[in-house]
Amino acid sequence: MSVLTRTVLINRLRNPEDDFAIVPLLEETQIDYGAVNLRLGLEFILPRKTRYPFFCPKNIDEHEIRKFQKRDSLRFGETIVIHPQQLLLASTFEFLSMPSDLCGFVLTRSRYARIGLVIAAATYVHPNWRGCLTLELANYGEVPIELTCGSQIGQLALLEAKHVERSDEYRPMPVGPQFSCMCHDEEWKKLERFKSRIQRRDEFRKDLER
Amino acid sequence: MERILSEEIKDIVLDKILQFEQLVTEFESDMPRHGPVSLLLTVKTVLKVLRMYYERKLKDLAAIKEDNRRKEKLYVNSRIVLVSIFIMHEKLLPFLNPGQLTSIPIEILGASQSLAGKFEDMKELELSFSPNYDYQFSLKAFYGVVDNLIDSLKSDVPESFFRKIKKKASNQGVCNSFAFVGYPWIERRSLLLPSLMVHEIGHLKESRENLRREFLPERLDQQRVENLVKTIANTELLSKDSGSGSRVKERQLTLSLVYPEDKIRQKVVETCLAITENWVKEFVVDLLALHLLGPGYFFSFLELVYIVGMDSEGSDTHPSFTWRLKVMMDELEDMGYLLSDFKDGKIRDLLKSWRKRLLNRNVIPNKKFREIAYYSLLKSLPEMHKGIRDRSRTYSYNPHRYYEKVLPIVRVIKRGILPVQRWDRSRKKFDTFEELDIINAGWYVYNLEMSSFYKLVSAKDKKDQQNARQTLFNLILKAIDSAQTTKRWARKERIP
């Protein structure tokens, strides 16, 4: 597994037959040595002031989650402020098309990281993935940070992978940030069964004690 | 007395100006997200001018001591300001309501200006959007709003002064560059929105250049008008049963006894002319849009027909969808999309199958007024086709361009890549796709390549396929926006 160099990246991006694409590339200088700089997109998912007490992932579907978060959008060049300890969801301005022989990692550019910004918690980009990456922006510093739509905020390091087969599941190709969809996880049901089994056992124990 | 009056007016006007300014300031904080900044600038400028004008007039009024005639004139002028402020408040308030404008897709704001720029002399146009909760696409020109505003001053000001400001307003280019587009909220993320927006922009072009006058039929179908007049004149006012036993037993009570035939004829002609004029307007705009966007416009119209249903009757404001489709099909045929030398066989066959389907469709309306408009217009249609073709020669979307530009984009979409740019080997730089080509490619995939797109995104059941269609629309909207940003970035332009 090795990181792709600038020359290899440029050659592959220029090849119209290659499934690898990062579009639009506003400047070719975005292709750095061993990584491609990514810009901040125009759509955001912002936290909402809510009367609901807590966020329960297994019970919240993509409609219910709007009680806690809302979508908003800005124009290219406009700014948004992220406050300390705040989480915003954004997306990359660039659309990525990953071929089956490449995977990637999204990283915060060091100049932003040094003022307390982290742009991605889920950093791995799968082979065969297509769309604009959702970024989880968090300010771990102590002062608010102004972010500009279209600024080069992150980096995508690309690594060679063995040819990975495409999954058979529906592939949505998002063009903006995506809400969490944890409720679709099949394992919640299994975990629920574990929980109810423990509860029943506890009740049985209490009955015996009585 | 005069002093008291002017003091009262002063208070009311200043109060209204302040109220309006406060509203604009509130709107300003949300403005970048909701619409063209220059709309806000215009409103602010108008307010500033009104304030300056009013304050100067008040100063003048105070300076005049004896000349009652001049005082009266100035008093009238200050009333104009007052009325203007009231009307502006009333007319512009719906557009300055941020809540109403929150669901504008960000991609559309940029696309609107770019699409308008494709028409000649429409580069400076800026659109503001407001979603409708009923299924309706509409356009309201800003100069129309201003024109209504001035018209409502008519009763308050002297005739000569009214004519003067009317002339001044019509010369002001600033009003011509704004329009408000209403669109169905449900279509906010659909490919229909940018495609049918071309039609709405076309309306503005048609209205600015008054094209309908050029293509109106010289006269209505006289024979049919006479027949209708006779039918109306001989309409019995009482049914035969209710007439029995009454005094008008021998003489039938018809409409011609109440209204003279000339009056009926005049009313019939007026109504038919109004319908014909409305229909001419729609046809002209359809043809302009078709030349700008090519087959993409025809397909977007077909999609609209799928949603609202095919009809042959139409309304007094719009001709029937079937007839409009037929007229568009004729134009596409003239443009060469159905000829065998058009290299893309798939699109040619699709258009041919639609021509066949439309051929036997009835387009003659049932209602008599519309029937007259139909037959009157039928004769002037060839002239209209020719006239619009001549006018749109510089930007007409010809089959050669379709083949050269659209099909490469289709190939990019089919591989699941955002169609924005590709490497141009000969020029050794990334080449950005045109917005119109992207829209056409979107309709191409939607109509002809959807099965391969389903395969690409692994859409198996109906729900997945529905999501896949939305994914395609999202890709196209994002591509339009990104292409525009890329071009502006390359030109080192100021990005609004």
Range list of β-strands (E), B362-452 = 421-424, 429-432
Helix (H, G, I), strand (E, B) or coil at A87: strand
Q: Are A133 and A96 in contact (CB under 8 A)?
A: yes
Q: Are residues B382 and B420 in the same domain?
A: no
Q: Are residues B281 and B379 in the same domain?
A: yes
Q: Are residues B383 and B475 in the same domain?
A: no
Chain A residue numbers with beta carbons less than 8 Å from the beta carbon of B483 are 24
Q: Are A89 and A136 in contact (CB under 8 A)?
A: yes
Q: Dihedral angle at the C-alpha atoms of A19, A21, A23, A26, nearest 10 degrees?
A: -140
* Alpha carbon distance B266, B264 (integer Å): 5
pLDDT tens profile A188-206: 888 888 989 999 999 999 9
* Alpha carbon distance A81, A74 (integer Å): 12
Mutation target to probe the A interface, by most A beta carbons within 10 A, among B457, B480, B485 is: B485
Chain B residue numbers with beta carbons less than 8 Å from the beta carbon of A13 are 423
Beta strand B126-132 pairing with B178-184: parallel
Helix (H, G, I), strand (E, B) or coil at B253: coil
Q: Are residues B20 and B132 in the same domain?
A: yes
Tokens of residue A67, six digits? 């009680």
Positive or negative, the CA dihedral A186, A190, A196, A198 is: negative
Q: Dihedral angle at the C-alpha atoms of B269, B272, B277, B282, nearest 10 degrees?
A: 180
Q: Chain B closest CA to A205's CA: distance in Å?
A: 47
Chain A residue numbers with beta carbons less than 8 Å from the beta carbon of B477 are 175
Residue B196 lies in a domain: no
How far is Cα of residue B22 from the mean position of the Cα atoms in its chain? Answer: 31
* Alpha carbon distance B245, B304 (integer Å): 55
Residue B360 lies in a domain: yes
Tokens of residue A154, six digits? 């992150």
Q: Are residues B61 and B101 in the same domain?
A: yes
Which H or E run contains A105? strand A102-108
Q: Are B320 and B311 in contact (CB under 8 A)?
A: yes
| Residue finishing a domain among B391, B412, B440 | B391
Interface of A with B (CB under 8 A): 13-16, 19, 21, 23-28, 42-43, 72-78, 93, 95, 97, 130, 132, 150, 166-176
pLDDT attached to residue B2:
46
Tokens of residue A100, six digits? 């089956």
Which H or E run contains B5? helix B2-34
* B430:A15 CB<8 A: no
Q: Are B478 and B442 in contact (CB under 8 A)?
A: no
Under 8 Å CB-to-CB from B27, ≥6 apart: which residues? Answer: B34, B40, B96, B98
Helix (H, G, I), strand (E, B) or coil at A81: strand
Nearest Cβ partner for B415 among A19, A170, A172: A19
Mutation target to probe the B interface, by most B beta carbons within 10 A, among A165, A173, A178, A181 is: A173
pLDDT attached to residue B48:
61
Tokens 């391969």 identify what position? B452
Q: Are residues B164 and B48 in the same domain?
A: yes
pLDDT attached to residue B491:
78
Q: What is the DSSP string of B224-250?
A: HHHHHHHHHHT-BSS-HHHHTTSTTSS
Nearest Cβ partner for A169 among B458, B478, B496: B458
Helix (H, G, I), strand (E, B) or coil at A185: coil
Q: Chain A closest CA to B459's CA: distance in Å?
A: 6
Under 8 Å CB-to-CB from B479, ≥6 apart: which residues? Answer: B418, B419, B420, B433, B438
Residue B68 lies in a domain: yes
* B415:A93 CB<8 A: no
pLDDT attached to residue B21:
62
Q: Which residue of B has its CA nearest to A169?
A: B458
Which CATH superfamily includes the segment(s) A6-184? Deoxyuridine triphosphatase (dUTPase) (2.70.40.10)
Helix ranges (DSSP H) in B252-406: 255-258, 261-293, 295-308, 321-335, 345-359, 368-391, 399-401
Which H or E run contains A119? none
Looking from the CA of B104 toward its CB, the CA atoms found within 13 Å total: 28
Q: Chain B closest CA to A178's CA: distance in Å?
A: 13
* A14:B482 CB<8 A: no
Q: Are residues B306 and B339 in the same domain?
A: yes
Ranges of each domain in chain A: 6-184
Q: Are B468 and B402 in contact (CB under 8 A)?
A: no
In sequence order, the β-bridge partners of residue A87 are: A138
Q: Are residues B158 and B261 in the same domain?
A: no
Chain B residue numbers with beta carbons less than 8 Å from the beta carbon of A95 are 417-418, 420, 478, 482
Which H or E run contains B476? helix B462-490
Q: Are residues B366 and B404 in the same domain?
A: no
Report how many domains make up chain B. 3
* B457:A171 CB<8 A: yes
* B457:A173 CB<8 A: yes
Which domain does B376 fall in, by range? 214-391
| Residue finishing a domain among B391, B420, B436 | B391
* Alpha carbon distance B400, B386 (integer Å): 20
Nearest Cβ partner for B478 among A76, A78, A95: A95
* Alpha carbon distance B60, B42 (integer Å): 27
* B482:A23 CB<8 A: yes
Backbone angles phi, psi at B272, to 5 degrees: -65, -40
Residue B208 lies in a domain: no
Tokens of residue B97, six digits? 């309501």
Chain B residue numbers with beta carbons less than 8 Å from the beta carbon of A15 are 423
Q: Chain B closest CA to A136's CA: distance in Å?
A: 21
Nearest Cβ partner for B489 among A19, A26, A170: A26
Chain B residue numbers with beta carbons less than 8 Å from the beta carbon of A168 are 458
* Alpha carbon distance A83, B377 (integer Å): 64
* Alpha carbon distance B443, B456 (integer Å): 17
Q: Chain A closest CA to B383's CA: distance in Å?
A: 44
Helix (H, G, I), strand (E, B) or coil at A155: strand
- Label residue B83 exposed, middle or buried (CB < 10 Å: 0-12, 13-18, 19+): middle
* Alpha carbon distance B424, B421 (integer Å): 9
Comparing C-alpha atoms, which of A197, A199, A184, A152 is closest to residue A59? A184
* Alpha carbon distance B456, A158 (integer Å): 23
* Number of CB atoms found within 10 A of residue B327's CB: 21
Q: Are residues B34 and B65 in the same domain?
A: yes
pLDDT attached to residue B5:
46
Comparing C-alpha atoms, which of B30, B25, B193 is closest to residue B105? B193
Mean pLDDT of A154-171: 87
pLDDT attached to residue B74:
59
Looking from the CA of A135 toward its CB, the CA atoms found within 13 Å total: 30
Query: Angle B368-391/B222-233 helices, nearest 10 degrees?
Result: 160
Tokens of residue A3, six digits? 């990181």
Helix (H, G, I), strand (E, B) or coil at A107: strand
* B478:A93 CB<8 A: no
Interface of B with A (CB under 8 A): 32-33, 105-106, 109-110, 415-418, 420-423, 430, 432, 456-460, 464, 467-468, 471, 474-475, 477-478, 481-483, 485-486, 489-490, 495-496
Q: Are residues B283 and B364 in the same domain?
A: yes
CB pairs under 8 A between A and B: 99
Q: Are residues B318 and B414 in the same domain?
A: no
* B106:A171 CB<8 A: no
**Ranges of chain B whose pLDDT falls below 70:** 1-110, 112-113, 120-126, 128, 130-131, 133, 141-158, 160-162, 164-178, 237-252, 492-496
